[in-house]
Amino acid sequence: MALSAPTGVHETYALSVVIAVVSVLSAVGAGWIILSFLLFEGQRTFRHQLILMTLFWKRHPNGSE
């Protein structure tokens, strides 16, 4: 079964609904991330540490190699 563009009206509608649902879920998830960052101030430092660890995972916490 190969991927192809929808050929019928019902297939186009179903594809449009799936795209809309995924888009809404993505927007809600992004909004939750931003809202939780603003609401839970105590977690900011921990989140920043996780982000920085993933970006610079080779470095030690004190900055040495």
Please report which helix (H) or strand (E) contains residue 25, including its range.
helix 9-39
**22: in domain:** no
- In the numeric block, the tokens 């996780």 are attached to 50
**15: in domain:** no
Q: Judge if pTM exceeds 0.85.
A: no
Average confidence score pLDDT of the chain: 79
The confidence band for 56, taking pLDDT boundaries of 50, 70 and 90, is: low
In this predicted structure, what is the pLDDT of residue 16?
95
Which residue range forms the structural domain that includes residue 62?
Answer: 31-65
Distance (Å, whole) CA 22 – CA 56: 31
Residues 57, 51: contact at Cβ < 8 Å? no
Reported as a single tens digit per residue, the pLDDT across 15-37 is 999 999 999 999 999 988 878 87
At residue 40, what are phi and psi to the nearest 5 degrees? -105, 80
Tally of structural domains, the chain: 1
In this predicted structure, what is the pLDDT of residue 12?
94
**59: in domain:** yes
What is the 8-class DSSP label of residue 35?
H
**25: in domain:** no
